[in-house]
Amino acid sequence: MDKVLVEGRIRDLRSEIERHRRLYYELDAPEISDAEYDRLEKELAALERQFPSLLRPDSPTRTLGGRAAEAFSPVRHPAPLLSLDNTYDERDIEDWFGRLARILGRDDLEFVCELKLDGLSVALTYENGAFVQGATRGDGEVGEDVTRNLRTVSDIPSRIKNAPRRLVVRGEVYLAVEAFAALNAKREEDGQSVFANPRNAAAGSLRQIDPRVTASRPLACFCYQILHAEGYTPTDQDAVLEDLSAWGFAVDPRHRRCRGLKEAQAYCREWTERRHDLPYDADGVVIKLAPVALQERAGTTAKSPRWAVAFKFPAEQAQTQVEAIEIQVGRTGALTPVAKLVPVKVAGVTISSASLHNEDEVRRKDVRVGDTVLLERAGGVIPYVVRVEVGRRPVVAVPFQFPASCPVCGGPVHKPEGEAILRCANRSCKAQIKEGLRHFASRDAMDIGGLGKVLVDTLVERRMLSSLPDLYGLSAPSLADLPRMGDKSAANLLDQIAASRSRPYERVLYALGIRQVGEETARAIASRFRSMDSLLDASEESLQEVDGVGPKVAAEIRAFFDVPENRAMVERLRNAGLTFEAPERSAGQLPLAGLTFVLTGTLASMPRPKAKAGLEAMGARVSGSVSRATSYVVAGTEAGSKLDAARTLGVAVLDEDALLRILSGAPLPPRTPTDPDRT
Ligand code: IVH
């Protein structure tokens, strides 16, 4: 190629790579896949090798990606947090193995294979057993100080035992796939923008200015490397993982010792197949030479160790066409655009639609009917549109116009202040009624099993139901007239509806479908406001005294009961005979009724779920977060941020022995702030 042309291409590649690094590391908003990014880096490296005179010391091939954001103070890492070279197939791995064997002069090599978590690399510093600093990777040399945020991650111990005096470990902070889906569902419901994948969600959560926001996201962290340890010399990677775990860090149990190249390749194959069984997103496998002495002999390049390599799973992406963009209307009137797609297989599953989340998202991606889009299964499960292949856009494709009225009822739509979501303002919109009824009848709410989606649709379409209380007025003859519904099914359904009258008050509260009031919150509200009457006029201030109810939730509850139609609906439910009061708390009935426990750390005598079940069986509520409303925090070993929170808030702390005594029926200890014996 002509040198002038090459110069131009190199310039373009450098600026593109820098741009994508910024998008990935600083803005948490990558536009291209890792594989595409790697292709850019590889092309640049190849051109620079071919034309060494064009090589510059500041070329992205010689520097690590990312730069520290300015909101957090910079932290210099004790040793660079290197990145890894990527391989994409078995041949690549063989080439890497060959190079390593040549450098070391032997090929009887053993490896430790680990999953490559798709999260955020962090460095955690401990002094005399106490967690003193946590930093993001940044550019590998200097990261951001996110200590306060990392203290809220329960996998990161605030104290560790029997560890070196000064210890810096490296780990990966991530959001489990389930937690990611729940977070996005809530954001979608709240009209906030959604995260494209768990990695972005974890990154966004970790870089919050307010640690309380981080604390509300269930981040997790696996550790895998020691960056610095005074007076500690591990023999191999297996021992490192074992020691990290013994000190109290969470270590991914799926790592495996592999003897030779073949076993390492088998591990890569196995997890390529099973990647969707993982509770988190992994984008590959890391193959690490096991013995530390050999790692040191192999050494590192400017960017990455020679003794380790990443094997990237093949991208689970596919191209397909958008046949239509439909608008779905949810229980709270939220209008969600959904791309209807020509069915395509992505990672073994046929995908025919993908949520486009909200208007901003459709605009940003500029998805149009007729477009060819690149589809990916984020978090392994949820299909999403990565981008539009603009080059393949038909000339006739026009930008998608959001409807000015609700596609179901024709009512006006509005966008509440500060939200990205359009909502149908008509509370008697059929879509809202149907979704509201479905929620009301769902298993965790009123549990009316016979009232499925199709039946709800039919009953609403035939105007037999237009609000929740109408259910209690349904009669056998009118039901028996419906298609595929005989006398017997009608009678069954009516029995189930009648039985729902005795569902406890907290379930009724949840079934009402008040925005932001999930099952846990409904339970907490019911234990403080023990009757519907006491709740109907509760002030926002008093609502906020409930565990898990902040200003936003309190405002939603107030707003719900302030709407006259909702008040009338609640009264009709009362007249239908639903349970509007919590049962009397009689002493001696359930000894822990009305008390809230939080469990933290590891219990030696039983797994945490078992302790939780035991406490709940005695009437206690077991919550995941500490607040002033918490009655007791039970701290096992290596209790983390929740123990700190209990101390700050003056909540009574119990040790495991005290818990065992309570579970065996002993009287409760006083609720004064106490401290368990620390070992
Ligand atoms: S080892 C010198 N092990 O992958 C050791 N990295 O491109 C270098 N990662 O930035 C890292 N899981 O954030 C290692 N089990 C694992 C990993 C892992 C995820 C990330 C890490 C790093 C990137 C490499």
Q: How many residues does the chain have?
A: 679
Spacing, Cα 155 to ligand 1 middle (Å): 18
Residue 120 CA, closest ligand 1 atom number? 13
CA-wise closest residue to 114 among 288, 246, 372: 288
Check: CB of residue 192 under 8 Å from CB of residue 419. Answer: yes
Q: Is the CB of 446 under 6 A from ligand 1?
A: no
Pocket test for ligand 1, best of 116, 173, 226 (most atoms within 8 A of CB): 116
Asked whether residue 673 is assigned to any structural domain, the reply reads yes
Who contacts 551 (Cβ-Cβ below 8 Å, separation ≥6)? 540, 544
Name beta bridge partners: 414: 423
Asked whether residue 48 is assigned to any structural domain, the reply reads yes
- The C-alpha atoms of residue 180 and residue 197 are separated, in whole angstroms, by 8
Which whole-number Å values give the CA distances from 658 to 588, 592, 615, 653, 676, in the listed order? 20, 14, 13, 10, 9
CA-wise closest residue to 119 among 220, 32, 37: 220
Mean pLDDT of 536-547: 88
Spacing, Cα 84 to ligand 1 middle (Å): 7
- The C-alpha atoms of residue 543 and residue 361 are separated, in whole angstroms, by 34
Name beta bridge partners: 131: 126
DSSP 472: G
Spacing, Cα 83 to ligand 1 middle (Å): 7
In this structure, of 295-304, 324-333, 454-463, 516-525, the range with the lowest mean pLDDT score is: 516-525
Asked whether residue 471 is assigned to any structural domain, the reply reads yes
- List the CATH number of the domain containing 250: 3.30.470.30
Asked whether residue 512 is assigned to any structural domain, the reply reads yes
Asked whether residue 423 is assigned to any structural domain, the reply reads no
Which whole-number Å values give the CA distances from 226 to 141, 160, 230, in the listed order? 15, 14, 11
Indicate whether 450 and 325 sit together in one domain: no
Asked whether residue 79 is assigned to any structural domain, the reply reads yes
CA-wise closest residue to 152 among 202, 117, 85: 202
Residue 108 structure tokens: 């009887």
30-48 pLDDT, tens per residue?
777 777 787 888 889 888 8
Q: Is the CB of 117 under 6 A from ligand 1?
A: yes
Per-residue confidence (pLDDT) for residue 165, from 0 to 100? 93
Check: CB of residue 79 under 8 Å from CB of residue 143. Answer: no
Spacing, Cα 17 to ligand 1 middle (Å): 20
Q: Is the CB of 470 under 6 A from ligand 1?
A: no
Q: Is the CB of 626 under 6 A from ligand 1?
A: no
Q: Is the CB of 121 under 6 A from ligand 1?
A: yes
| Domain final position from 381, 413, 445 | 413
In this structure, of 127-131, 266-270, 546-550, 655-659, the range with the lowest mean pLDDT score is: 546-550
Number of neighbouring beta carbons within 10 Å of residue 608? 15
Indicate whether 459 and 370 sit together in one domain: no
Indicate whether 157 and 291 sit together in one domain: yes
Residue 255 CA, closest ligand 1 atom number? 15
93-124 pLDDT, tens per residue?
999 999 999 999 999 999 999 999 999 999 99
For the chain, the average pLDDT equals: 88
For ligand 1, atom 18: residue with the closest CA: 116
Residue 206 structure tokens: 């970790």
| Domain final position from 543, 575, 607 | 575
Residue 635 Ramachandran class (φ > 0 left, ψ -120 to 50 alpha, else beta): beta
Residue 24 structure tokens: 């990935």
For ligand 1, atom 4: residue with the closest CA: 116
619-676 pLDDT, tens per residue?
888 888 888 888 999 998 888 888 888 888 888 999 998 898 888 777 788 777 655 4
Asked whether residue 391 is assigned to any structural domain, the reply reads yes
Catalytic residue list: 116
Higher per-residue confidence, 586 vs 99: 99
Q: Is the CB of 83 under 6 A from ligand 1?
A: yes
Spacing, Cα 11 to ligand 1 middle (Å): 29
Per-residue confidence (pLDDT) for residue 438, from 0 to 100? 93
- The C-alpha atoms of residue 170 and residue 226 are separated, in whole angstroms, by 6
Q: Is the CB of 172 under 6 A from ligand 1?
A: yes
Indicate whether 444 and 569 sit together in one domain: yes
Asked whether residue 323 is assigned to any structural domain, the reply reads yes
Residue 64 Ramachandran class (φ > 0 left, ψ -120 to 50 alpha, else beta): beta
Label residue 78 by pLDDT band (50, 70, 90): confident
Beta strand extents in 537-651 (DSSP E only): 596-600, 621-623, 632-635
Per-residue confidence (pLDDT) for residue 437, from 0 to 100? 95
Pocket test for ligand 1, best of 121, 268, 285 (most atoms within 8 A of CB): 121
Label residue 343 by pLDDT band (50, 70, 90): very high
Spacing, Cα 199 to ligand 1 middle (Å): 14
Residue 386 structure tokens: 């990565």
Indicate whether 83 and 182 sit together in one domain: yes
Three-state DSSP at 225 gives strand
Q: Is the CB of 84 under 6 A from ligand 1?
A: yes
Mean pLDDT of 285-291: 98
User: Can you count the helices (H) and strands (E) in the chain?
Assistant: 24, 22
- The C-alpha atoms of residue 355 and residue 114 are separated, in whole angstroms, by 33
Residue numbers of the domain that contains 25: 3-54
49-64 pLDDT, tens per residue?
888 888 777 777 766 5
Per-residue confidence (pLDDT) for residue 69, from 0 to 100? 44
Spacing, Cα 563 to ligand 1 middle (Å): 53
Q: Is the CB of 286 under 6 A from ligand 1?
A: yes
Residue 137 CA, closest ligand 1 atom number? 10
Residue 115 CA, closest ligand 1 atom number? 15
Three-state DSSP at 187 gives helix
Per-residue confidence (pLDDT) for residue 676, from 0 to 100? 47
Spacing, Cα 533 to ligand 1 middle (Å): 55
- List the CATH number of the domain containing 568: 1.10.150.20
Label residue 586 by pLDDT band (50, 70, 90): low
Question: How does strand 120-127 pair with strand 349-355?
Answer: unpaired
Indicate whether 255 and 160 sit together in one domain: yes
Per-residue confidence (pLDDT) for residue 25, from 0 to 100? 64
Per-residue confidence (pLDDT) for residue 109, from 0 to 100? 97
Residue 300 CA, closest ligand 1 atom number? 2
Spacing, Cα 202 to ligand 1 middle (Å): 16
* Identity of residue 451: L
- pLDDT surpassing 60 at residue 480: yes
| Domain final position from 312, 338, 371 | 312
139-179 pLDDT, tens per residue?
899 999 999 899 989 899 999 988 999 999 999 999 998 89
Spacing, Cα 287 to ligand 1 middle (Å): 10
Per-residue confidence (pLDDT) for residue 679, from 0 to 100? 31
Q: Structural domain tally of the chain?
A: 5
Tell me, letter by letter, the H, E, C secondary structure of 99-124. Answer: HHHHHHCCCCCEEEEEEEECCEEEEE
Label residue 378 by pLDDT band (50, 70, 90): low
Q: Is the CB of 234 under 6 A from ligand 1?
A: no
Label residue 441 by pLDDT band (50, 70, 90): very high
Q: Is the CB of 82 under 6 A from ligand 1?
A: yes
Per-residue confidence (pLDDT) for residue 68, from 0 to 100? 40
For ligand 1, atom 6: residue with the closest CA: 116
Pick the most confident of 195-199, 493-497, 526-530: 493-497
- List the CATH number of the domain containing 646: 3.40.50.10190
Pocket test for ligand 1, best of 21, 87, 117, 309 (most atoms within 8 A of CB): 117
* Identity of residue 9: R
- List the CATH number of the domain containing 24: 1.10.287.610
- The C-alpha atoms of residue 67 and residue 142 are separated, in whole angstroms, by 8
Indicate whether 284 and 383 sit together in one domain: no
Q: Is the CB of 225 under 6 A from ligand 1?
A: yes
- List the CATH number of the domain containing 385: 2.40.50.140
Per-residue confidence (pLDDT) for residue 571, from 0 to 100? 96
Which whole-number Å values give the CA distances from 289 to 21, 194, 264, 295, 369, in the listed order? 28, 39, 10, 6, 50
- The C-alpha atoms of residue 411 and residue 329 are separated, in whole angstroms, by 12
Mean pLDDT of 422-428: 86
Indicate whether 97 and 128 sit together in one domain: yes
Indicate whether 117 and 206 sit together in one domain: yes
Higher per-residue confidence, 345 vs 253: 253
What sections of 275-333 are H helices per DSSP? 292-298
Spacing, Cα 120 to ligand 1 middle (Å): 9
Tell me how many degrees the CA angle 232-234-236 measures, rounded to the nearest 5.
Answer: 170
Who contacts 557 (Cβ-Cβ below 8 Å, separation ≥6)? 514, 516, 517, 525, 535, 538, 543, 549
Residue 97 structure tokens: 């193995």
Label residue 547 by pLDDT band (50, 70, 90): confident
Indicate whether 120 and 254 sit together in one domain: yes
Q: Is the CB of 214 under 6 A from ligand 1?
A: no
Q: Is the CB of 224 under 6 A from ligand 1?
A: yes
Residue 86 CA, closest ligand 1 atom number? 7
For ligand 1, atom 13: residue with the closest CA: 121
Indicate whether 110 and 249 sit together in one domain: yes
For ligand 1, atom 16: residue with the closest CA: 116
Spacing, Cα 148 to ligand 1 middle (Å): 23
484-512 pLDDT, tens per residue?
888 888 999 999 999 999 999 999 999 99
For ligand 1, atom 11: residue with the closest CA: 83
For ligand 1, atom 2: residue with the closest CA: 82
Per-residue confidence (pLDDT) for residue 650, from 0 to 100? 86
Pocket test for ligand 1, best of 224, 256, 275 (most atoms within 8 A of CB): 224
Pick the most confident of 46-55, 70-79, 279-288: 279-288
- The C-alpha atoms of residue 623 and residue 620 are separated, in whole angstroms, by 10
Indicate whether 95 and 235 sit together in one domain: yes
Per-residue confidence (pLDDT) for residue 516, from 0 to 100? 83
Pocket test for ligand 1, best of 37, 38, 83, 313 (most atoms within 8 A of CB): 83
Q: Could you tell me what percent of the chain has a pLDDT over 90?
A: 51
Q: Could you tell me what percent of the chain has a pLDDT over 70?
A: 94
